[in-house]
Structure 1
Amino acid sequence: MKTGNYIKYYFGSSYCHVDAVHAASPQADRFTDEIAAGIMAKTGCAGIIGTVSRTIADLNRPPGQGNDEAVWEYRAVISQFLHNMGLLAPDGRSLTRPYLHVGIHGMKDQPHGPFSIEVGTIYGKTCSVRVKKWFGELLKAKVREVLPGTKVIFDKHWVGNQSLASHRWGEGRSYPGYGKNYNAFQVEIARTLRENYRQEMIDILAAVVADFNVTFARR
């Protein structure tokens, strides 16, 4: 695993990366780094783990208010992932095939209860309709198998920050984004699940990552 000033990261072999950008204390989303690392180990996908606290530089926000250097380091590593996997079109920005970005975050046991997962897509702005449908159906199916009784909610309370959509649609001239083939999901996991069911969460999300590379292999 390589280490930057604000993140540590691993280059993978699948068309996906996972990240845990709020893994550092204080105000850490506890155990998200372990879940992300577990998915990476199980699937071989790339990954990023934040090593700076959100109180100093929040990687899950657009650049500004003191986080510029950290956000650009984070975005540069995503660009390296895409380049190394040969996914960039000749224009150097748009993607030649679907790509999956799964952000692992932590929420309290409220408002949805201790056995709950909320997925944020900013109401569909961060992903295609087709990939969102696939992601939701498969995630719910895997949850029923591994942790029956756990609720999966989309875009209700934690819908995702605009910075997540920037990877797809851009953010002005400084960050044009990668286009419609970039699909990102902010996965908020309740504290009880993160604390007591980490391996189950790793197994569920690793199955989703692995299936993406099969389902969208030729698209």
Structure 2
Amino acid sequence: MKNGNFIKYAFGTHYCHVDAVHATSPKADRFTDEIVAGILEKTGCAGIIGTVSRTIADLNRPPGKDNDEAVWEYRDVICQFLYSLGLLGLGSRNLAKPYLHIGIHGMRDLIHGPLSIEVGTIYGKTCSAKVRKWFGETLKAKVHEAIPEAKVVFDKHWVGNISLAAHRWGEGRHYPGYGKNYNAFQVEIARTLREHHRQEMIGVLAEIVTEFNGMFSRR
């Protein structure tokens, strides 16, 4: 992995990246960095792991006086991923093909139970309806196969931060976004799943990355 000032990152060969922006203490989402590293190892996709605590500079927020430099470094690396895959032409900001961004976060067991996952899309603003349907159906099926008692919910408590939608639709003239082919999901994983079923989670998400690449991005 390459080291930036606020993140470490690796380029990949799939039309997808996974990240863990809250991986560093204090107030870390424990084990999310290990999940991202595991997915990268299994799939060869790109990835980003935050090396700054959210208490200093929160990467999962729009840029502001406390996190401006960190957020722009994070966004610049995403742009580098897209250029390296040939998804952006010279002078263009709209992606040529569908792209998947999976943000791995951690939530407490008390929110939905110890074997739960919540996916945030800001009620569909961060992704297309087609990809949202596919992602939901595929994730639920694979999670049920790996851990039958686990459950997956969408947009209930952790619906996602508006900064996630900015990658798709933009955020003023300084960050125009990448258009309708950018699909982002904030995946909140309960503590018990992260700690005691980490390999199952890595396997499920790695399969999703691989299937997305085959179904949506090689057409």
Q: How far apart in 1 are the matches of 2:169 and 2:177? A: 5
* Aligned-partner residue type, residue 63 of structure 1: P
How do residues 106-125 of structure 1 correspond to structure 2 at under 5 angstroms?
106-125=106-125
1:151 aligns with 2:137: no
Give 1:90 deviation, angstroms. Answer: 4.2
Q: How far apart in 1 are the matches of 2:214 and 2:91? A: 26
Give 1:217 deviation, angstroms. Answer: 2.9
Q: How far apart in 2 are the matches of 1:151 and 1:71? A: 32
How do residues 132-171 of structure 1 correspond to structure 2 at under 5 angstroms?
132-171=132-171
Give the equivalent residue in structure 2 for 1:51.
Answer: 51
Could you say what secondary structure the match of 1:189 adopts?
strand
8 A contact 2:144–2:151 mirrored in 1? no
Query: Could you say what the CA RMSD is over the residues aligned between the two structures, in angstroms?
Result: 0.8
* Aligned-partner residue type, residue 103 of structure 2: G
Give 1:92 deviation, angstroms. Answer: 2.5
Give the equivalent residue in structure 2 for 1:37.
Answer: 37
Q: How far apart in 2 are the matches of 1:189 and 1:78? A: 23
Bigger drift between 86-95 and 148-157 goes to 86-95
Give the equivalent residue in structure 2 for 1:85.
Answer: 85
Q: How far apart in 1 are the matches of 2:195 and 2:218? A: 37
* Aligned-partner residue type, residue 32 of structure 1: T
Give 1:144 deviation, angstroms. Answer: 1.1
* Aligned-partner residue type, residue 125 of structure 1: K
* Aligned-partner residue type, residue 155 of structure 2: D
Give the equivalent residue in structure 1 for 2:62.
Answer: 62
Could you say what secondary structure the match of 1:111 adopts?
helix
Give 1:149 deviation, angstroms. Answer: 1.1
Per-residue CA distance 1:92-122 (angstroms, 9 max, x = gap): 3110000000000000001200000000000
TM-score by length of 1: 0.99
- The share of aligned pairs that are identical, in percent, is 76
Give the equivalent residue in structure 1 for 2:214.
Answer: 214
Could you say what secondary structure the match of 1:185 adopts?
strand
| Deviation beyond 2 Å, 4+ runs, structure 1 | 89-92
* Aligned-partner residue type, residue 40 of structure 1: L
Aligned residues: 219
Per-residue CA distance 1:23-60 (angstroms, 9 max, x = gap): 00000000000000100110000000000000000000
Q: How far apart in 1 are the matches of 2:186 and 2:76? A: 19
TM-score by length of 2: 0.99
Give the equivalent residue in structure 2 for 1:6.
Answer: 6
